[in-house]
């Protein structure tokens, strides 16, 4: 159930100088998908990121003692909610971090609200977390579906990709992605020609791809995720979609997907992320530390893992400001009150609805010949300023935003 | 019919069962003092689910590989009726159970047209089909599931948000289901079922309309699986795709197999073992499916009677 | 150009062809299941996992040994088939005297183990596999663009299916196999090593799954869960066809591929459920399956 990571020794060693400061204890639980679908995006890498954040923070604030637990929710909402219930009731955990998989994240958010604890989301994509289902105990850090869809759609329309065909996974998530990005396309002056809804986990996309090809749309928007996205792009290459002049836009694509496709197949794919390891020196330096902590030299941190680092850092600052972690709502309120500042996401803010806002980046997958070293995936095509990157506060229907 | 009835040690057997039952109830009464109650409630729901499944395989000889269909859809309907329609919990669970019964009737009447492994494959395929419906339907919330299901007030009186009340309610539902299954097994209906399991042709020649018995058993099993699923939705306040997807069907098979197919107490023990494994082995998370697979293989090769079956065999009693 | 139900006929031909290609995989997989079932009376639940292993072996060969797709087409089925032989010798052979259900449960357990191990080792997002150079590009058939690889899939699959059918139905070896299914004791009395025949049959069926896996690698995502969901559809195909005949499995496989392909055009939302619906209808009308004999 838990993996105790004692940082007590380190903390004790640094205690001496600040005897007058108040002693604060915090217990953090990293819950992620350690084994399946999202394990590469969050998973053990998120735990490593949290460890780095804690080490950095306690070095500067020796009066804060942090304990770290981690667990695997196995992508099951009921496993996730029982573990979190147990964490809050029995283990006295103060904050839960990460939680990729929107279903599990929404469940955890609700439990955090009922038990007045804190929840910092990095891995989950659902924009509902800061929309209709927002609450005062949750902060959504790294990204959400609205940001991804909107960023990619707007940027592509601006660069001439003004006619769209959507390949949509036929369930709530796919519909939401299609709706959000379709709206962005039309708001920027583009046009959605047609769409086709395919069942989740479809193996063969050839039929849908032919329909997309026949539509003559300039952009084929992939409102799907994971294996479906990979299969669409892989078979799109086979049917000569990109060679024929059409372009794929991944609305929810991660570096791990690009890796699964190989640059040869994925080249030219456009996508949005809020953090990329090779963007600047600070990110590269942190990546080195992360690789050492994770004991995986060949792996590269994702934006989700970077978000865990930044989220934990800001949370710990807020705990100090709130003089303790026991009141989840008070700590989250502090997080919203103070501006954020960390080495990975720079300066930013947490909005009233719990949405953390920062810049987002429009990236294009490099050709194999352009990739100089492992992990060299993207060209940076545009930077979307924080103010435009996320859904406007008033559009989210979050009750916290109006009051 | 006497010559087909299973050979049993009647006089001693019922006493051993009574003792085991008392021990079980005693355990559930003191357990919340030292085991986390939410875990216990979850395990109780799965125990009822496994018992319902066992009714079909253990006594009817029918291996359903699609029981997630009834469990999962009942939990959806319970969650939806409690949350959106504002049903009180008892009515919500009944709604779920009725849904499961209806699906059980339809799927059952299709599946019993074939025997053995075909039966297993048909139930699996139908469950997968309904999984896709659950995925695409609006009210299920797709990947997000139905969240924040209110526990509400039982009969308008008992506040289920209180952990103790919820625990007692879950325990009562479980025990009621358990005793009902026990009653079914030992009724004339149950005897006919066992006769069909042993030798269907013979049962037919004795004048039994075996298809009707099999369908009846199927619907009963589906309904009770539905009660389990509905209760789970109220306890954990969640209904999600996990409940209706095929690995869940596999899990309930595993629970019954580990505990002992065709034993009364086996599925309960099996459910607790498997749920405990999932919960307390979360730190080796990625290994859970591998471990489950190993348990399957080991059980099939070495412990086909399951924990309780082996124990009963050892002590020469019925459990 | 004329239209059928609002769809241009040319597009329809294209979709029919695509459906046939898709059906190639169903046919190969249900054929393997039927062969195994015929001999061992076991439903091989690990068939999906073995299909996945075939794709992964192709990936290993390419990335660690530099051996290309053509080599993989031969080696992967042998390697995975050998794995099947091992499974049969270690586990399955102890179950023949028991209820068939135990075979199902055991192979289900094996599927969980194999898929779990691969997921632990390779994560779940999948591995890249390049298409063999000789088969890139495609032909413009006038009514559609047919990638060469797809044409190859359909030719290879048909060849293998018909070859298997020929061996089992028309050769002496096949006659032994069929005889051993009917009456193993008698065949044993003729001096045929029946248990070795059973082992090799299982290996062969598993090899067919692996072959399908290699064929899938360049076009489908090579990931540990690639076989898990596919196998359930193949089960439905098998129920529809009935496992009584080899030809039945082949014809049903291709036929359902076409039907599924058409659904993708007319009613894409239902394209993953259509096979299950057909299964339900067949069960109502012909409970033993289209080609099955009433047990």
Confidence tier at B171 by pLDDT (50, 70, 90): very high
Domain boundaries, chain B: 35-245
Our measurement of the distance from residue A18's CA atom to the centroid of its chain's CA atoms, rounded to an integer in Å, reads: 36
**Is C216 within a domain?**
yes
Domain count for chain C, please give it: 1
**CA A103 to CA A126: how far, in whole Å?**
9
**Is C3 within a domain?**
no
CATH number of the domain that A198 lies in?
Answer: 3.40.50.2300
**Is C190 within a domain?**
yes
Q: Does the distance separating the beta carbons of B117 and C43 come in below 8 Å? A: yes
**Is A401 within a domain?**
no
Three-state SS at B137: coil
CA dist list (Å): A369 to A267, A377, B40, B264: 10, 11, 57, 66
pTM for this entry: 0.86
E strand or H helix at B89? helix B89-111
**Is C109 within a domain?**
yes
The candidate with the shortest Cα–Cα distance to A151, out of A276, A245, A270, is A270
Chain A hits for C269, CB-CB cut-off 8 Å, are 170, 197, 199
Q: Does the distance separating the beta carbons of C271 and A202 come in below 8 Å? A: yes
Q: Looking at the complex, report in whole angstroms how far the Cα of residue C143 sits from the nearest Cα belonging to chain B.
A: 33
pLDDT of residue A211: 87
* pLDDT tens-place values along chain C, 295 residues long: 455 555 666 667 778 888 898 899 999 999 999 889 888 888 899 999 999 999 999 999 998 999 999 999 999 999 999 999 999 999 998 888 888 889 999 999 999 999 989 988 887 778 888 888 888 888 887 777 788 998 999 999 999 999 999 998 899 888 888 888 778 888 888 888 888 989 999 999 999 999 999 999 998 889 888 998 899 999 999 889 887 788 888 999 999 999 998 898 888 888 888 999 999 898 888 888 888 765 4
**CA B134 to CA A171: how far, in whole Å?**
9
User: In terms of domains, do A87 and A225 share one?
Assistant: no
Of C15, C220, C272, the CB nearest to A231: C220
User: In terms of domains, do A205 and A324 share one?
Assistant: no
**Is C83 within a domain?**
yes
ipTM computed for the complex: 0.87
Partners for C (CB, 8 Å, 3+ pairs)? A, B
Please check whether residue A255 is in contact with residue A345, taking contact to mean a CB–CB distance below 8 angstroms.
no
Q: Looking at the complex, report in whole angstroms how far the Cα of residue A225 sits from the nearest Cα belonging to chain B.
A: 12
E strand or H helix at B86? none
pLDDT in tens, A1-28: 444 444 444 444 444 444 445 789 999 9
- Identify the domain containing residue C112 by its residue range: 16-122+144-224
pLDDT in tens, B7-37: 343 444 578 889 999 999 999 999 999 888 8
Domain count for chain A, please give it: 2
E strand or H helix at B36? none
Residue B233 has pLDDT above 60, yes or no: yes
Residue A387 has pLDDT above 50, yes or no: yes
Question: Does C213 contact chain A (CB < 8 Å)?
Answer: no
User: In terms of domains, do A262 and A385 share one?
Assistant: yes
**Is A403 within a domain?**
no
pLDDT of residue C293: 64
pLDDT in tens, A245-276: 898 998 988 887 888 888 888 888 889 999 99
Higher pLDDT, A123 or B288: A123
Residue-averaged pLDDT of chain A: 88
Chain B hits for C114, CB-CB cut-off 8 Å, are 293
Q: Using an 8 Å CB-CB cutoff, list residues of chain B that contact chain C.
A: 63, 65, 110-111, 113-118, 120-122, 124-126, 128-129, 132-133, 136, 246, 250, 253, 257, 286-290, 292-297, 299-301, 304
Task: Count interface pairs A-C at CB distance under 8 A.
Answer: 109
**Is C271 within a domain?**
no
**Is A2 within a domain?**
no
Q: Does the distance separating the beta carbons of A231 and C18 come in below 8 Å? A: no
**CA A313 to CA A18: how far, in whole Å?**
20
Confidence tier at B249 by pLDDT (50, 70, 90): very high
Question: Does A88 contact chain B (CB < 8 Å)?
Answer: no
- Three-state helix/strand/coil letters over chain A: CCCCECCHHHHHHHCHHHCCCCCEEEEEEEEECCCCCCCCCCHHHHHHHHHHHHHHHHHHCCCEEEEEEEEECCCCHHHHHHHHHHHHHHHCCCEEEECCCHHHHHHHHHHHHHHCCEEEECCCCCHHHHCCCCCCCEEECCCCHHHHHHHHHHHHHHCCCCEEEEEEECCHHHHHHHHHHHHHHHHCCCEEEEEEEECCCCCCCHHHHHHHHHHCCCEEEEECCHHHHHHHHHHHHHCCCCCCCCEEEECCCCHHHHHHHCHHHHCCCEEEECCCCCCCHHHHHHHHHHHHHHCCCCCCCCHHHHHHHHHHHHHHHHHHHHCCCCCHHHHHHHHHHCCEEECCCEEEEECCCCEEECCEEEEEECCHHHCCCCCCCEEEEEEECHHHHCCCHHHHCCHHHHC
- Identify the domain containing residue A225 by its residue range: 146-273+360-389
Q: Does the distance separating the beta carbons of B297 and C287 come in below 8 Å? A: no
Q: Which of B300, B304, B306 to mutate to test the interface with C (most CBs of C within 10 A)?
A: B300
User: In terms of domains, do A253 and A368 share one?
Assistant: yes
User: In terms of domains, do A101 and A155 share one?
Assistant: no
Of A36, A71, A110, the CB nearest to B148: A110
**Is C273 within a domain?**
no
Question: Does B151 contact chain A (CB < 8 Å)?
Answer: no
pLDDT of residue C5: 57
Question: Does A119 contact chain B (CB < 8 Å)?
Answer: no
Confidence tier at B6 by pLDDT (50, 70, 90): very low
User: In terms of domains, do A219 and A195 share one?
Assistant: yes
pLDDT in tens, B46-61: 999 999 999 999 888 8
Chain C hits for B253, CB-CB cut-off 8 Å, are 105, 108
pLDDT in tens, B85-122: 999 999 999 999 999 999 999 999 999 988 888 899 89
Q: Looking at the complex, report in whole angstroms how far the Cα of residue C264 sits from the nearest Cα belonging to chain A.
A: 7
Query: How much is the average pLDDT of A152-168?
Result: 91
Please check whether residue A107 is in contact with residue A318, taking contact to mean a CB–CB distance below 8 angstroms.
no
- Sheet hosting strand A340-342, strand order edge to edge: A340-342, A346-350, A356-357
Of A200, A238, A261, the CB nearest to C147: A238
pLDDT in tens, A309-356: 999 999 999 999 998 888 999 999 999 999 999 999 999 999 999 999
The candidate with the shortest Cα–Cα distance to B174, out of B228, B241, B223, B102, is B228
pLDDT of residue C4: 56
User: In terms of domains, do A173 and A290 share one?
Assistant: no
């Amino acid at each position: 159930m838990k993996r105790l990571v004692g940082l007590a020794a380190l903390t004790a060693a640094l205690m001496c100088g600040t005897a007058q400061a108040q002693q604060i204890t915090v217990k953090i639980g990293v819950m992620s998908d350690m084994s399946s679908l999202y394990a590469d995006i969050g998973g053990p890498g998120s735990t490593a990121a949290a460890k780095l954040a804690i080490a950095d923070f306690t070095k500067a604030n020796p009066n804060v003692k942090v304990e770290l637990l981690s667990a695997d929710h196995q992508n099951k909402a009921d496993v996730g909610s029982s573990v979190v219930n147990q964490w809050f009731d029995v283990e006295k955990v103060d904050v839960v971090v990460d939680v990729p998989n929107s279903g599990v994240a929404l469940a955890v958010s609700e439990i955090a609200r009922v038990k007045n604890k804190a929840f910092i989301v990095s891995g989950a994509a659902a924009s509902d977390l800061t929309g209709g289902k927002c609450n005062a105990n949750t902060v959504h850090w790294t990204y959400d579906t609205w940001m991804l869809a909107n960023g990619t759609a707007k940027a592509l329309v601006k660069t001439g990709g003004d006619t769209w065909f959507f390949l949509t996974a036929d369930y709530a998530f796919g519909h939401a992605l299609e709706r959000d990005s379709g709206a962005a396309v039309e708001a920027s002056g583009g046009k959605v020609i047609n769409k086709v809804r395919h069942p989740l986990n479809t193996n063969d996309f050839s039929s849908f791809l032919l329909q997309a090809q026949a539509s003559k749309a300039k952009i084929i928007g992939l409102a799907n995720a994971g294996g479906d996205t990979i299969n669409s792009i892989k078979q799109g290459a086979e049917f000569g979609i990109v060679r024929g002049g059409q372009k794929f836009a991944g609305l929810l694509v991660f570096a791990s997907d690009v890796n699964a496709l190989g640059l040869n197949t994925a080249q030219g794919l456009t996508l949005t992320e809020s953090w990329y390891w090779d963007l600047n020196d600070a990110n590269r330096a942190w990546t080195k530390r992360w690789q050492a902590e994770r004991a995986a030299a060949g792996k590269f941190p994702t934006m989700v893992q970077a978000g865990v680092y930044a989220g934990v850092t800001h949370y710990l600052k807020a705990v100090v400001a709130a003089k303790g972690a026991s009141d989840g709502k008070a700590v989250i309120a502090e997080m919203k009150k103070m501006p954020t500042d960390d080495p990975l996401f720079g300066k930013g803010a947490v909005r009233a609805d719990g949405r953390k806002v920062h810049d987002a980046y429009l990236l294009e997958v490099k050709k194999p010949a352009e990739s100089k070293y492992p992990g060299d995936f993207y060209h940076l095509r545009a930077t979307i300023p924080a103010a435009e990157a996320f859904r406007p506060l008033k559009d989210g229907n979050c009750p916290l935003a109006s009051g | 019919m006497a010559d087909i009835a299973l050979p049993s040690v009647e006089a001693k057997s019922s006493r051993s069962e009574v003792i085991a039952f008392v021990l079980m109830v005693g355990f559930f009464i003191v357990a919340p003092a030292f085991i986390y109650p939410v875990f216990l409630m979850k395990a109780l729901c799965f125990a009822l689910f496994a018992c319902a499944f066992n009714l079909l395989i253990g006594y009817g000889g029918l291996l359903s590989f699609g029981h997630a269909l009834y469990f999962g859809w009942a939990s959806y309907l319970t969650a939806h009726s409690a949350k959106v329609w504002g049903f009180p919990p008892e009515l919500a669970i009944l709604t779920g159970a009725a849904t499961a019964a209806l699906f059980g009737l339809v799927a059952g009447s299709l599946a019993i047209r074939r025997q053995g492994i075909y039966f297993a494959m048909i139930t699996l395929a139908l469950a997968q089909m309904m999984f896709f419906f659950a995925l695409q339907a609006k009210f299920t919330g797709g990947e997000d599931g139905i969240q924040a299901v209110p526990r509400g007030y039982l009969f308008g009186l008992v506040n289920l948000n209180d952990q103790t009340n919820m625990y007692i309610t879950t325990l009562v539902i479980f025990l009621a289901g358990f005793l009902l299954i026990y009653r079914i097994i030992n009724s004339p209906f149950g005897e006919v079922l066992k006769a069909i399991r042993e030798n269907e042709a013979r049962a037919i020649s004795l004048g039994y309309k075996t298809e009707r018995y099999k369908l009846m058993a199927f619907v009963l099993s589906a309904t009770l699986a539905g009660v389990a699923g509905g209760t789970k939705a109220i306890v954990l306040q969640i209904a999600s795709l996990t409940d209706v997807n095929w690995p869940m069907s596999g899990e309930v098979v595993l629970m019954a197999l580990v505990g002992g197919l065709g034993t009364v107490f086996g599925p309960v023990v099996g459910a607790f073992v498997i749920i405990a494994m999932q919960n307390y082995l979360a730190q080796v998370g990625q290994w859970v499916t591998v471990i489950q697979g190993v348990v399957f293989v080991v059980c099939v090769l070495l412990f086909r009677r399951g924990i309780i079956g082996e124990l009963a065999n050892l002590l020469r009693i019925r459990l | 150009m004329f239209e059928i139900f609002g769809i241009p006929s040319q597009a329809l031909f294209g979709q029919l062809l695509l459906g046939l290609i898709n059906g190639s995989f169903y046919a190969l997989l249900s054929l393997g299941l039927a062969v195994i079932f015929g001999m061992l009376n076991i439903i091989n639940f690990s068939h999906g996992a073995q299909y996945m292993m075939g794709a992964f072996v192709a990936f290993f060969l390419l990335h660690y040994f530099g051996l290309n797709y053509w080599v993989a087409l031969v080696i992967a089925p042998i390697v995975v088939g050998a794995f099947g032989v091992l499974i049969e010798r270690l586990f399955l052979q102890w179950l023949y005297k028991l209820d068939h259900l135990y075979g199902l449960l055991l192979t289900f357990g094996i599927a969980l183990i194999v898929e779990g191990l691969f997921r632990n080792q390779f994560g779940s997002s999948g591995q890249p596999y390049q298409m063999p150079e000789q088969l890139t590009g495609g032909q413009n058939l006038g009514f559609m663009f047919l990638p060469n690889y797809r044409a190859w899939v359909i030719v290879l699959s048909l060849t293998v299916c018909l070859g298997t059918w020929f061996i089992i139905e028309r050769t002496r070896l096949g006659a032994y196999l069929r005889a051993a299914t009917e009456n193993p004791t008698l065949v044993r009395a003729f001096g045929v090593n029946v248990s070795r025949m059973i082992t090799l049959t299982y290996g062969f069926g598993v090899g067919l799954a692996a072959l399908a896996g290699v064929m899938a690698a360049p076009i489908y995502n090579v990931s540990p869960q690639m076989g898990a969901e596919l196998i359930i559809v193949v089960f439905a195909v098998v129920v529809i066809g009935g496992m009584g005949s080899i030809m039945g499995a082949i014809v049903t496989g291709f036929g359902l591929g076409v039907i599924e392909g058409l659904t993708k055009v007319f009613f894409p939302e239902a394209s993953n459920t259509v096979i299950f619906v057909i299964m339900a209808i067949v069960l109502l009308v012909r409970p033993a399956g289209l080609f099955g004999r009433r047990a």
